[in-house]
Amino acid sequence: NDCAAPCSPHMNTPPISRPVNWEFMTIIGILEENVWSTMFLSVACAWVVLVLVTRNWWISSMVAVIIVAIMASVIATVFTIGYIMDIFVSTFVALTIGLAIDYSVHIAHFYNHAPGSRFERAQHAMAEIAVSVIGGAVTTIFAGLPLFAAPTA
């Protein structure tokens, strides 16, 4: 046996008998296949919820366009860098969808309930929500920083 002590105990067994977590592989396949439909379904759900909450289809439509623009720019950047759609990219896209929807919906909500002209409403919304949105973004970034040190393979 030429396998030294640090080798995996499965190194000398035939490939067919190596343990494989088929359920996990199925989940990965589903994530990779459904990331696009999930993205568009999420935007549609956000639009419907915003229309119901704000009772303003114009603001809701603008937020949906902004969310799609954010997602398009993030996905274009990821693919331009050279990544392919795998479990890491699909997880990244899912997180980006959540953050884009969360921040956009909160700003739209504050804008819709602010008094004054469009400019004054925009200023009020940004002044009221900016601290919370920036705080949420910063804590999300710091919570994700340890992942940079995690092994990828």
User: How far is the CA of 114 from the CAs of 17, 118, 125, 127, 141, in angstroms?
Assistant: 64, 9, 7, 11, 29
Which of 10-14, 25-29, 108-112 has the lowest average pLDDT?
Answer: 10-14
Across the chain, how many H-helices and E-strands are there? 4, 0
Query: Model confidence over 36-92: pLDDT tens digits?
Result: 788 888 889 989 988 998 888 998 999 899 989 988 898 888 889 888 777 777 778
What is the pLDDT, as a whole number, of residue 6? 52
Question: pTM of the prediction?
Answer: 0.65
